[in-house]
Amino acid sequence: MHSPSRVSAPRRALWFLTAPLLAALVGAAALAGPAHADTEPPQERTSVAAHYVGLLEQRPEGAAVVVEDTLLGDYDPVELERSLHESFGRLGVDYYVVARADVDDAASNVSLLAALQDRMGEPGLYVLLQPGESRVQALGRGVDLPLREADQVVALERLMTYHTPLDTKADVYVDTLTAPDLAERAELPWYTRFPAGWWMEQRLRELGLQTSGGPAALGETTAAVVGLTASLWALLSAIRYGRRGRAAQAGLAGRPPGDRVLSVGRILAPVVGTLALAAAVIHVHTATLPEDEQRVGPTPPDTAPYVASTARLERVAAALSEDPLYVDPRVGEGVGDLSGIAERLAGTDLPVYVAVVPMADSDESGGDLEIFTHALHHVMDQDGVFVVVDDADGSDPELGAALFGATLGDEVVSPLRDVTGYRFDLTTGRALEELMDVVDQASAAPGERPDIPSEVEYRADPYPEPSRLSMLLSGEWSTALFVVGPVSALAVLGLVRAVLGARVRMDTVPGRSLRPRADRAVRRAAKALEAASADHAGLDRSMREADTALAVLGGEPDELDLVGVVVLADRVVRRLDPDPDTAASADVPVCMVNPLHGPSALYGPTDQLWPERRQARCASCELLSDRGRDRRTLLVAAPSGGRRPHLELDRLWVTTGYGARGRLDTEDLMGESRVH
């Protein structure tokens, strides 16, 4: 075939005769009267909205449903139309529904619905249904329907996913519109007003596998939990080992304080991690994923035409049999002016058929242009060059081409390779111009056929579907396991340490809490005295200590006096306890770091076990460093103002170890505290 710029002399002569012939024809037509349909000038391309309005007007008034043939790959149009009538018919209002594939066209979805309303001019509910969306788009005119509240509930409750079939979407949407509790459900929960609450809700929905990214999110969360528990086990083990070492070095007998809690934590941490991992694996293998409800049409044949339905192909073929350039009405005006392409097609030696159509995963060819060209050739049963253009918005078109009964030579790499596929930064017209420059070089080759579409070969031996386990591990699980988990473990331990530190600070500076604490301690001591038998060996001493505590408490005690009252009352309770070990601890000196800690460790009834020690300490304080013990030393209000460590006060409470190293004289105590 020759390029249009290299025409023969006879053809140029014919072109020179065109103008006189056209003038004669126009004059004859004017004399003959009104022109017939076949002589009318070509009409302008119909807009997308006008195209759908024309289809809706062909349906029953007030109950119009249009199912576009771009859904033929996944849906039976007759069955889907019937189902949509049943769903929207329950509303009791007029409805105009368009179900189509979701492709990028010149008309946005919102503007399309508004244009449909304006062009139809009828009251009712206007609905746009598209696969690949987790919503139903609807506008109302002259109907009393809570559309805004329904949209809110659909979004809040995730009633639809990207994979929900169109008929199910319609049912769910109508059920939501007619729900009696719609107004309450449409209210935003209070916690979603905060970023953290909103994020947590979304995360929980992902963990419930209600989204496509749910398995990956579940895998990341599980990995983080496993990393957290493993790190906690390691950290708790290290802490317990260190505390046991310090306890042995200090000579503490038995378990150091907190050892039981650390041991339980070491056991629970791996158990929780194991249970979390097992629960995640079971959940992802038994749950219904959004992909499971995706509508899948019948399996296409492995032989020509390679599609299960040829309805749209027959419509396109019928148009191409009259004009080698076909632009689908849904494409609209986005592709621009293609009159130059039409002129080139009229002057080719080989038949060239160009179809500009919207393509989608849900159509009969699965959005594959190569399959569409082969199927189109099968339906038309004509040799030539078949070109399909997927371009709905006029930019970055995708081109596919196949030669039947024609060849471009014996080159290893087809020249079409450079002018097909996605043509970024090109208009449809420019992309077709470049393709036609290559097609012009083709020559007839009867019987020549292209290779079977690669997608058809893939159908015969498809890749295995990803397993549920691989979906679980498809996210950033390694980062969650080795980074998020350990960091979270450190954060948890830091939080626990902060809480314990706050409690220690409250014990170190009890302040106003001393008075109610002393009152409670005295009441416990009084109950213990009432319950003790008259022949109890420690009854007399306990009564003396209780009398001293009551006398001091009844005066005007300062903070140090209140500490002494608590120590004496607790000693009474321990001495009268029926458990011999608890009763024996009553005569053990209290911890002089903070007497409120209770009995010290390493001391028996006398001070002979560790005579070189100057200060009695509880087991917890014994395990601390000197700096740590300084931070835990009890601070009380000083007569001179401010707070001072209780050991710095020259008071009987301190010098007698709060009664452990000598009898406390009530009158002396009351004199010190200026009770009378």
Residue identified by tokens 């509790």 is 181
Burial class (CB in 10 A: 0-12, 13-18, 19+), 572: buried
Residue 248: predicted pLDDT? 83
Question: Mean pLDDT across the stretch 309-320?
Answer: 94
Residue 108: predicted pLDDT? 56
Coil, helix or strand for 483?
helix
Range list of β-strands (E), 361-510: 384-390, 398-404, 406-407, 421-422, 443-444
Question: Mean pLDDT across the stretch 285-310?
Answer: 84
CA-based Rg of the chain, rounded to a whole angstrom?
44
**Which helix (H) or strand (E) element contains residue 587?**
none
Distance CA 19, CA 233 (A): 93
Q: Which of 222-231, 310-319, 330-339, 427-436 has the lowest mean pLDDT?
A: 330-339
What is the rounded average pLDDT for all residues in the chain? 84
3-state helix/strand/coil string of 71-118: HCCCCCHHHHHHHHHHHHHHHCCCEEEEECCCCCCCCCHHHHHHHHHH
> 398-404 and 384-390 as β-strands: parallel, antiparallel, unpaired?
antiparallel
What type of residue is 460? A
Summarize pLDDT for 85-101 with one digit per residue, the tens. 999 999 999 999 999 98
- DSSP classification of residue 636: E
- Domain 48-181 classification at class level: alpha beta
- DSSP classification of residue 396: S
Residue 354 φ then ψ, to 5°: -120, 125
Summarize pLDDT for 101-132 with one digit per residue, the tens. 887 654 456 688 898 999 999 999 999 999 98
- 106 touches 119 (CB < 8 A): no
What type of residue is 4? P
Summarize pLDDT for 326-374 with one digit per residue, the tens. 998 888 666 888 899 999 999 888 999 999 998 988 899 999 999 999 9
Distance CA 589, CA 417 (A): 94
Residue 28: predicted pLDDT? 36
Residue 330: predicted pLDDT? 83
What type of residue is 459? R
Q: In the chain, where are the structural domains located?
A: 48-181, 188-297+476-508, 311-460, 510-672
